[in-house]
């Protein structure tokens, strides 16, 4: 089914998402909105002129009124993260941007599903939910979707197997405090240590697997890319467009995205990532995996991005968000 998708923010991430969407058959109309009208005009022209190689698609440089009746709205607006800067350090600046955007877009697209990509994405998802006053099921943060993609790439490279055979996830805050619940990770349903023994018995010669090194790889990947090229946008764009496909599909999917927590794993009233059922009606619920006690503790601690106590940081950030939103 053809769908109308609006992208708010025409920076590197927003423009790349719009371009990637233009290559998908599920998008029939793409609206791009940005305060820099000249840039968004150029992005729309550049993208639409390359669409002759697919079924017709409209790519529009528009304003909020043009987003009316959108099926999906993707929000990428915000100040980009600089080298050495954490996502949480961006919170105060980008909350003000979300505060301005949320009521304006919610007024014209009240039934759309929203994907929040702006960093720090967990705080921005929470802020958008509060500022827009839309139902929780309509609001989804990209969360650890990209982290999970990085993890699967790293694991597939180690095990020398296609990524579709890797079943492992990144939970928690999209940042350095995220973690991998290794007790639930597998290669084609087989625990990783056991899988290594099996294939090595065939002479494959896999090295011992280092969980800590793999998590470090996931945590540092974004920073390493920013250090080398100034920004990350290809990986996140492909992840977000893949999520769009899930939300527009006939069947529901399970993925790691940031949504409001209601006591799962002992975490409440914050947006953070775990396995979540999503589909055409947005968020349907969460799939609570049987984590170890250590993993549950890690999940609770992941809410804390810059203080020692697990929930104190979330509380302080969210109080600041609430103060700015006057809620």
Q: In angstroms, rounded to a whole number, what is the distance separating the alpha carbons of residues 289 and 100? A: 37
Crossing angle, helix 145-159 and helix 211-229, to 10 degrees? 120
Q: In angstroms, rounded to a whole number, what is the distance separating the alpha carbons of residues 51 and 97? A: 31
Share in percent of the chain as helix, strand, coil (round to 5): 50, 20, 30
Q: In angstroms, rounded to a whole number, what is the distance separating the alpha carbons of residues 226 and 33? A: 25
Q: In angstroms, rounded to a whole number, what is the distance separating the alpha carbons of residues 327 and 19? A: 36
For residues 86-116, b (16+ Cβ closer than 10 Å) or e, as one string? bbbebbeebbebbbebbebbbebbeebbbbb
Peptide bond into 66 cis (omega under 30): no
For residues 44 and 61, is the Cβ–Cβ distance under 8 A? Answer: yes
* Catalytic residue flag (residue 158): no
- Choosing from 167, 174, 219, 262, which is the catalytic residue? 174
DSSP assigned state of 207: P
Positions marked catalytic? 174
């Amino acid at each position: 089914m053809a769908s109308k998708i609006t992208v708010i923010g025409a920076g590197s991430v927003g423009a790349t998402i719009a371009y990637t969407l233009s290559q998908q058959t599920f998008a029939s109309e793409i609206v791009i909105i940005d305060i820099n009208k000249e840039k968004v005009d150029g992005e729309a022209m550049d993208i639409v002129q390359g669409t002759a190689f697919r079924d017709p698609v409209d790519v529009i440089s528009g304003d909020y009124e043009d987003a009316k009746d959108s099926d999906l709205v993707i929000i990428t607006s915000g100040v980009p993260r600089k080298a050495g800067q954490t996502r949480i350090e961006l919170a105060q600046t980008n909350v003000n941007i979300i505060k301005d955007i949320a009521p304006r877009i919610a007024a014209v697209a009240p039934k759309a599903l929203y994907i929040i990509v702006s960093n720090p994405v967990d705080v921005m998802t929470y802020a958008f939910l509060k500022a827009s006053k839309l139902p929780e099921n309509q609001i989804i943060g990209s969360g650890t979707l990209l982290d999970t993609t990085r993890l699967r790439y790293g694991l597939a490279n180690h095990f020398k197997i296609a990524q579709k055979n890797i079943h492992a996830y990144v939970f928690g805050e999209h940042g350095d405090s995220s973690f991998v619940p290794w007790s639930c990770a597998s290669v084609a349903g087989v625990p990783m240590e056991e899988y290594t023994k099996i294939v090595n018995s065939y002479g494959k010669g896999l090295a011992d697997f280092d969980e800590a090194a793999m998590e470090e790889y996931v945590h540092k990947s974004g920073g390493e890319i920013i250090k080398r090229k100034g920004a990350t946008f290809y990986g996140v764009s492909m992840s977000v467009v893949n999520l769009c496909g899930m939300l527009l599909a006939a069947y529901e999917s399970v993925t790691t995205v940031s949504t409001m927590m209601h006591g799962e794993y002992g975490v409440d009233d914050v947006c953070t990532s775990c396995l979540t059922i999503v589909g055409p009606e947005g968020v349907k619920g969460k799939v609570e995996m049987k984590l170890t006690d250590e993993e549950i503790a890690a999940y609770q601690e992941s809410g804390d991005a810059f203080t020692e106590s697990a929930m104190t940081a979330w509380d302080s950030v969210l109080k600041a968000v609430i103060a700015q939103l006057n809620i």
